[in-house]
């Protein structure tokens, strides 16, 4: 149960990372870095959920953080 509550921490972390790296946004938006990373994370998360739930939750946390970081 606590691991699902920790997933909620991914959204504020993504917002903090977006604010901290606002000056470098031009660097990581020129090359499609985040969209490729998000697709890879989504695929690995879905495929690993059947085998290892802890790994899937960790990758979901990283996916949510990266997604929010990319949007803002």
Q: Are 23 and 71 in contact (CB under 8 A)?
A: no
Tokens coding 25? 């946004």
Q: What does DSSP assign to residue 22?
A: S
Alpha carbon distance 33, 45 (integer Å):
18
Alpha carbon distance 12, 46 (integer Å):
23
| Collapsed DSSP state (helix, strand, coil) of residue 3 | helix
Mean pLDDT on 21-49: 87
pLDDT band at 17 (very low <50, low <70, confident <90, very high): very high
The pTM of the full predicted model, rounded to 2 decimals, is: 0.85
Q: What is the pLDDT of residue 6?
A: 82
Q: What is the pLDDT of residue 43?
A: 95
Tokens coding 29? 């938006």
Q: What is the pLDDT of residue 64?
A: 93
């Amino acid at each position: 149960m606590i691991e699902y509550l920790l997933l909620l921490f991914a959204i504020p972390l993504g917002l903090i990372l977006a604010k901290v790296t606002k000056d470098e946004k031009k660097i990581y938006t020129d090359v499609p870095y985040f969209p490729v990373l998000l697709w890879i994370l989504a695929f690995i998360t879905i495929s690993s959920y059947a085998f290892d739930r802890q790994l899937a939750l960790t990758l979901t946390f990283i996916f949510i953080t990266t997604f929010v970081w990319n949007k803002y």
